[in-house]
Amino acid sequence: MTTIPSIRMPVRPARLASLDAAEREEQARALSRSVRLSVLEMIEHAGLGHIGGDFSVTDILATLFSSVLHVRPQEHDWPERDRFILSKGHAAAALYAALAHSGFFPVSALGTFMDPLSMLNGHPNRNKVLGIETNTGPLGHGLPVAVGCAIASELSPQPWRTYVVLGDGELQEGSNWEAIMTAAHRRLGTLTAVVDRNRLQQGARTEDTNSLEPLADKWRAFGWEVHEVDGHDHAALYEVFSLAPGERPRCVIAHTVKGKGVSFIEDRVEWHHKVPSREQVEQARKELEA
Amino acid sequence: MTAVQESAPTFDNRQAFAEELIRLARQDPRIVAVCNDSVGSSNLGAFQKEFPDRLINVGIAEQDMVGVGAGLANGGFIPFVCAAGPFLTGRALEQIKADVAYSNFHVVLCAMSPGMAYGELGPTHHSIEDFAWIGALDNMTIVVPADPQQTREAVAWAASTDKPVYLRVGRFKVPAVTPPDVTFELGRAVTLREGGDVTLIGTGTTVSRALEAADLLAAQGFEARVLNMATVKPLDEAAVLAAARETGRVVTAEEATTRGGLGSMVAHVLAVNHPTPMRTLGVTEFAPTGSAAYLLEHFHLTARGIADAALELLR
């Protein structure tokens, strides 16, 4: 596995404030590129993984980790850190790459993805990987835990913000709607839920399986402030993620393309967890490095 | 009902639970309560009155409730997540597995009114699979206090540990059984009565009945050892093995299914280490309609039923 150098971004408020928009966007773009290239290598190495969902969520993760989250990679349990939860835990490779390239652990560890005894399981484990807030994998778990984090923030003298990324297909799990109600009822303004709206689930399109639309209206009807953005536009994502906490929990429907960045993977249902051949890896790398 | 229950004063463990939780919450601002529209049935009214911000009622949403508990633990709080046993465990089992046990968060899951407490309400409301379900989860402990003193100590212990806890808080009124000088210790059975002929192992509400059964056996000339297995997981294997070696016969009694519960756990330890004649009393099928008292008779979870099981082994 070739080593992609860590960006080691200073994910701290003081430095963030000093960046201008162009610098921020460049950092997010650079992190996205590193994450996608690492994910490609990780999945090739493991012969397993969820490349479609990894690539759809990459720009969201890169924006959060490069310029939004107030976290300290060298002090992962800093009590006042912003909480980030990847509810769609099958996109673990993208999260691991984002964490490693942000300095939470060595980038070289990505080369052990899914190896026997590796800390990098196919789904995130908070007790093994620095920067993971809660174990995810089964769908419909991240949002309730994020609601608990946001309530804890309200009860704490030094509040923080909580961000959770949900897959769109995952919204078919009823536990989300329980949590959506609780967050609205408690007016958890420090909570932001991001829906990775790539419109595909494992077996088919979401709208052909158990349709979600009108999705924004549903969140609004449940009492959330809703924003819709291009989930691959770093500047747009930064803008909405960095809005000050409001009176209500905030839902960001991020319109994405599953497999974004590699032409033959984009928006194809069969690439939910298909592993590219050696030739396909080469083709994908060329496209990602272009 | 039996002689001891008629003569001795009895107590509601939920009362001891609530009082201790409030006492601890006054000392430790990290303690919060989470519930599912169960302020009354979880006996959290006084807690809510004194700490309104620290009582989080998510409504009838158990999956959300357990996840919220995990999130609060992530945020540095010590959540006591309270709900009727059958819905806490059955409805939110995957949340308990993934969010609490596998994440290894210090969340105290409090199963209120477990076992057959909701007798007439039927098997949907009987929490009898919890020992098997929770017992199968790594990192989890299962604590079942038998009386108010043990309940208070178990609540204080649960707040002080750093591990996930499953705490069964009974609704049945129970007599005091714990000697004043004995304190709760995780994984340590309390020997309430010495004896060399047979060992009766109870947990929670069955402990006082096992003591009464020992009286019935004594009247027939048999000396029964009585163990209060207040920790079902981790099981006090040393106490079980000593009992088997020293008394040669073991009877377990639990308000839970015999498939995968305390009896199964004791049987496993004995089968592997020291095969011993046993009887496992518990719930053996979806219960017929009847009050809790009726159902305990039906499943032989009375002093008489426990004594009869012991006599079968002694014959």
What does the pLDDT look like over B211-247, one tens digit per residue? 999 999 999 999 999 999 999 999 999 999 999 999 9
- Choose, out of B32, B54, B62, B64, the residue to mutate when testing the contact with A (most A CBs < 10 Å): B64
| Residues of chain A contacting B98 with CB distance shorter than 8 Å | 135-138, 141
List Cβ neighbours of A167 (8 Å cut-off, separation of 6 or more).
Answer: A53, A87, A88, A91, A139, A195, A196, A198, A201
Q: Is A137 exposed, middle or buried (0-12, 13-18, 19+ CB in 10 A)?
A: middle
- Of A135, A144, A152, which is closest to B64 when you measure between CB atoms? A144
**B199 and B247 in contact (C-beta within 8 Å)?**
yes
Which chain B residue has the Cα nearest residue A153? B75
* The pLDDT value given to residue A17: 58
Give tens-digit pLDDT for A152-175.
999 999 999 999 999 999 999 999
CA distance A5 to A35: 11
Interface of B to A at Cβ within 8 Å reads: 32, 53-54, 56, 58-59, 61, 63-77, 79, 94-95, 98-99, 102-105
- CB-CB under 8 Å, A135 with B66: no
CA distance B129 to B229: 17
How far does B96 lie from chain A, in Å, by closest CA?
A: 10
Instruction: Output the CA–CA distances (angstroms, integers) from residue B96 to A145, B199, B312, in the order listed.
Output: 12, 33, 39
pLDDT above 80 (res B53): yes
Mean pLDDT of chain B: 96
Instruction: Tell whether A150 is within 8 A of chain B (Cβ).
Output: yes
pLDDT above 90 (res B185): yes
* The pLDDT value given to residue B3: 43
* The pLDDT value given to residue B8: 81
* The pLDDT value given to residue A4: 56
Instruction: Give the residue ranges of DSSP H helices in chain A.
Output: 13-18, 21-46, 51-63, 92-101, 142-155, 174-185, 206-209, 215-221, 234-241, 278-289
CA distance B230 to B187: 8
Instruction: Tell whether A147 is within 8 A of chain B (Cβ).
Output: yes
Instruction: Tell whether A140 is within 8 A of chain B (Cβ).
Output: yes
Which chain B residue has the Cα nearest residue A151? B72
Mean of pLDDT values over B263-275: 98
Confidence of residue B172 (pLDDT cuts 50, 70, 90): confident
Mean of pLDDT values over A228-233: 98
How many residues in total does chain B contain?
315
**Percentage of chain A exceeding pLDDT 70:** 94
Mean of pLDDT values over B254-279: 98
Give tens-digit pLDDT for A241-290.
999 999 999 999 999 999 999 999 999 999 999 999 999 999 999 999 98
Q: For the whole model, what pTM was predicted?
A: 0.94
Instruction: Tell whether A184 is within 8 A of chain B (Cβ).
Output: no
- CB-CB under 8 Å, B103 with A127: yes
Which residue from B201, B28, B184 is spatially nearest to B106, judged by alpha carbons?
Answer: B28
CA distance A288 to A17: 30
| Residues of chain B contacting A141 with CB distance shorter than 8 Å | 67, 94-95, 98-99
pLDDT above 60 (res A9): no
